Amino acid sequence: MTFVWAFVVGGIICAIGQLIMDGFKLPPGNVMVILVVAGAVLDGLGWYDPLIRFAGAGATVPITSFGNALVHGALDEAKTHGLIGIITGIFEVTSAGISAAIIFAFLASVVARPRG
């Protein structure tokens, strides 16, 4: 049943993004920002962690989880280190994902040899 809920929740998140893109005629970059901010707001309200416990990868794989990670890291580090922890927490939690994205994008560009 875990896989079913992951599929349903992940699908709903992606469908919301597609509806925003189609309904408001927004480019993908704008929709991505909306979804990241939505994930950040949901984590700030304390609603994203229960969603992760319920749906697992259905909530951690979509882009909304990046906003969740930003806020989660900032809040955790702020409790420990105060105001400076807000900045360091953002980078501490998300640095591995950002580094992996840069490395894999570079490797893909080497293999695919993009033009333009």
pLDDT recorded at residue 37: 95
Give 61's DSSP letter: S
Task: Give the pair of three-digit tokens for residue 78.
Answer: 């702020």
Residue 47 has pLDDT above 80, yes or no: yes
Average pLDDT over residues 42-70: 93
pLDDT > 70? residue 116? no
User: Based on the number of CB atoms within 10 Å of its own CB, is 67 exposed (0-12), middle (13-18) or buried (19 or more)?
Assistant: buried
Higher-pLDDT residue of 85, 33: 33
3-state secondary structure 33-101: HHHHHHHHHHHHCCCHHHHHHHHCHHHHCCCHHHHHHHHHHHHHHHHHHCHHHHHHHHHHHHHHHHHHH
Looking at residues 98-107, what average pLDDT do you find? 90
Please give the distance of CA 87 from its chain centroid, rounded to a whole number.
18
Task: Look at residue 63 and give its three-state secondary structure.
Answer: coil
The pLDDT value recorded for residue 85 is 87
| pTM confidence score | 0.81
What are the extents of the domains in the chain?
1-112
- Segment 53-79 mean pLDDT: 91
